[in-house]
Structure 1
Amino acid sequence: MDGIATPGEAAKAIAERAGSLRPRIGIVLGSGLGGLAERIEDAVTISYADLPGFPRPGVHGHAGQLVLGTLGGQPVACMRGRVHLYEGAGPAAIKVPIRALKLAGCDTLLLTCAAGSLRTEVGPGRLMAITDHINMQGGNPLVGPNDDAFGPRFPGLKDAWDPTLTAHLASTAAELGIDLAQGVYAAWLGPCFETPAEVRMLKVLGADAVGMSTVPECIVARHCGLTVVGCAVITNLGVGLGDGEVSHDQTLRSATAAAADLERLVIGFLEGMKR
């Protein structure tokens, strides 16, 4: 990663490859969910290595590509994979990609991720709209000098996950017959999965699902004025809540199995935004 690269440099590189396309919707695809990018029409694919300041993911299931094109009738910029804080990049590594999407023309960010459920009635294979979050990662990507060009020193997060877009996601799911749960996402640092005691703690705090990503991107996006909506793919029950295996391989298998519903939901969601 080029530590001194700016979002403007990355946005310029995106514009040079995008041609006449000006993306409106930014999408971030989580573990095992990269297949949605293959549904993008007139796609232009850019390796993160060719985008200044984009940190390259080191985790299996994250391709490290930005795909530009049209999905559900909307011009999109789709991040096929993300970097995680447990990879050692630091919270600030999230800032360049998200701010570059803003500068490239995006006004909305759709975040997806794999997550463990803290509710036994919401099991593997289900989708969950993210209505709020709890940051348990011990850091914040906005720590350090504030860049006033992007947002205020003390941004509010009352509606971090946009209620109107979340309602649209829910109505789209209902129209498509997709069983969409809703709940609070807790961001865990990782790379260890949670202990049974930590799972019990998160439930007491009010979390409905837990994962190792997504919240830093939401914070950066809201700081720079992007509207955010999120959907988690439930890949397992939290440790101690069931008898199933909890591992990254199992996460990828479950995410892949649920990807078809996620693809239908995201495409329907985007199509509905045109109406």
Structure 2
Amino acid sequence: MINCDGLVKIYETDDKKVMALEGLDLTVETGEMLAVIGKSGSGKSTLLNMIGGLETPTAGVLTIDGKDISTYSEAEMVRYRRNKVGFVWQKSAKNLFPYLTVLQNVEAVMMFENSSNLKYGAHDENSGKHVNRCRDNNKSYALKLLNAVGLQEHKDKLPAQLSGGEQQRAAIAVALANKPDILLADEPTGAVDTRTADTIYELFHKLNKELGITIIIVTHDMALAGRVDRTVLISDGKVSTEKLKKHPAMEYTVLDKAHRIKLTDEMLEAAGIESNKVRVDVQDGKLVISRI
């Protein structure tokens, strides 16, 4: 389980302070497929980077399976990133080595893992050397991943020889090479057409259901709500609303710890509210907000 409790992130540049997250609260269940949507600059990618161990919060607590990852030592954080998390970025340059074939890109992750003795290796106390899983086993698992993403026949191609959609599928295979519990995808379909995006989302669903991987997708695509278990909207550095797939017509507005709510522009427009003042009444156990 991922639990974000009052996360704050402040960036300081040129004597200026920019607050990317402003007390964000969010819980993601193990095995959940979640979409995080919002405008540019709302804090989506910052949240993803924190969960991935690439950034630390200025304030607040982020726990993964009950452990506060901000307390990790440098070595523990490296183990967390290599063992627990897989990343899929929008730009293939961040996912793939351009001078390696597709197969070699997937195998490279396992080689890094072997060299650090984190998951695939064992220690030989007599010789003081790591006994790694043999290259044949690495290749076998890499081919299995490429088959799962439909790229086994392209295993010997360089990334530049693949289409945009194929590059993203290769990136997903690379992200899965360390057998992560959490898959983080930052705008994974931002550079592909609609048909290719559908294929990628179908692949995410398959991985989520068959492997039980927790998947968090950051996207601008508002239509994604019907494709995932839950969609959260981040606005001004906080979770503003949530939508559940089981109840696609229901939208939940989130109360923060001070019992404040954030109403979306769509809500205000639908209610005909233009002023910054509203009337709040309780009627038959329901909270009614209306224009003055």
Q: TM-score normalised by the shorter chain: which range applies?
A: under 0.3
Q: Give the structure, 1 or 2, with the largest relative contact order (CA under 8 Å, sep 6 or more).
A: 1
Richer in strand (by share): 2
Whose radius of gyration is greater, 1 or 2?
Answer: 2
Instruction: Calculate the TM-score normalised by the size of structure 1.
Output: 0.26
